[in-house]
Amino acid sequence: MAIAERRRSRSRSRSRKNIRSEIKALEAELHARKHGRAHSHGRELVRAEQMPDGAVVLFEEKVEKVEEPRRGVRIEKDKKGPPPKLMRAMLATLT
């Protein structure tokens, strides 16, 4: 008695080899973007989704990089007003 085993493919439209090659290509693109070799400058990959029809949709986000000055950020202290005693003396002379 022989049992016939039937192998079913999870994806009927694309082979496993095609899907794996596309995943590798997307991972290579993500790796290239993380290391600054991206072809779309100033954008960062947020997520990638595969649609039911097999199309791959990449969601990107624009990232602005702000470089600090070489010596660091300049912090200015708040300017304080004159001492309260001096203010009272100045106002006393006006009246």
Q: What is the pLDDT of residue 1?
A: 53
pTM over 0.85: no
pLDDT 10s digits, 45-82: 677 888 888 888 877 777 777 777 777 777 777 778 88
Residue 5 resides in a domain: no
What secondary structure does DSSP assign to 8-33, as a single string?
Answer: --S-SSS-HHHHHHHHHHHHHHHHHH
Rg (C-alpha) for the chain, rounded Å, is 32
Number of domains in the chain: 1
pLDDT 10s digits, 11-47: 566 788 888 888 888 888 888 777 765 455 566 767 7
Residue 62 resides in a domain: yes
Cβ atoms within 10 A of the Cβ of 48, count? 15
Locate all alpha helices (DSSP H) within the chain, ordered by sequence: 16-34, 84-94
Q: What is the pLDDT of residue 37?
A: 53
Structural domain range at position 39: 12-66
